[in-house]
Amino acid sequence: MTQKPLDAPPEKKVEPGAPAWMLTFADLMSLLLAFFVLLFSFSEMDKQKFKELSGSLRNAFGVQKEMPAFQTPVGNNIIAREFSPAQTRPTIENEIRQEALRELQRALSRDVAFVEAQFAQEIANDQVEVEVSENGFIIIRLMENVTFESGSATLTINAWPVLEKLGDVIGHLPGDIVVSGHTDSLPINTSRFRSNWDLSSARASTVLQEIQRYSEQPQRRFRAVGYAANKPIDSNDTAEGRARNRRVEVTLLRGEEDPATGDFTELFEPPPNADTIPLN
């Protein structure tokens, strides 16, 4: 019989089963697995199960939003969908600017309606046209068939009632007045008018003097300009188009000119000698 050496270590008793640290490691792996599964579910934005899972989580944390759980999110950001941004409140300056713009639009609408009512008969007879420019200025267009004979700057007998009415309208409205003469593209060369420049300027000056006299407004509100054939409103290739281009336009600028820039500032108050615009 062989004997064990005296210096051999004693044999350790091995207990059955897994070591204790394996329990902690298994719990950690389970938690990591659950965490990555949850991350994967969040990455699937177009899956129905994400909506159901997120709804359950929101219920668990007490932040459930009133939204049916069966709706599939379509390209929405989670934060933008679940947390509404604060509403921006307009500043006092913006409110004042918006209210001023609305007031200007209301005043312009009243003035246009007033002008159209005054010239209702002339508009129906194609003698007068009324429109609003891109800058918000009212343009009263006097056609040649009610103002001048062809090639002449002498007013016809039919022009006087229209100009008297126009002077009364101007007396009720604020702002500066620009009277502009326009011709067609056919050249002219007479003893009085060397070109369409002379003719358009003379017509504008004639109309200006009469409406200033009828309106009894100060002369500083008025100016005259001739454009010849450079601003047509119709084709010069037809007789009808040329007839429309031969006109005088009275533009209500509704403002005062800045001497430094030449721009016009909109006003809400009428000029000193102007009356209140009747609304009926």
pLDDT tens, position by position, 135-149 = 889 999 999 888 998
Confidence (pLDDT) at 241? 92
Q: Is the pLDDT of residue 87 over 80?
A: no
Q: What global pTM score does this model have? A: 0.58
Residue 57 has pLDDT above 60, yes or no: no
Q: Is the pLDDT of residue 1 over 60?
A: no
Domain boundaries along the sequence of the chain: 21-82, 95-266
Residue 10 has pLDDT above 50, yes or no: yes
Given pLDDT bands bounded at 50, 70 and 90, which one contains residue 24? confident
Residue with token string 């359950």: 56
pLDDT digits (tens, 9 = 90+) for 143-181: 988 899 888 899 999 999 999 999 999 998 888 999 999
pLDDT of residue 12: 64
Whether the pLDDT of residue 58 is over 70: the answer is no
Is residue 153 within 8 A of residue 209, CB to CB? The reply is no
Higher pLDDT, 103 or 274: 103
CATH superfamily of 95-266: OmpA-like domain (3.30.1330.60)
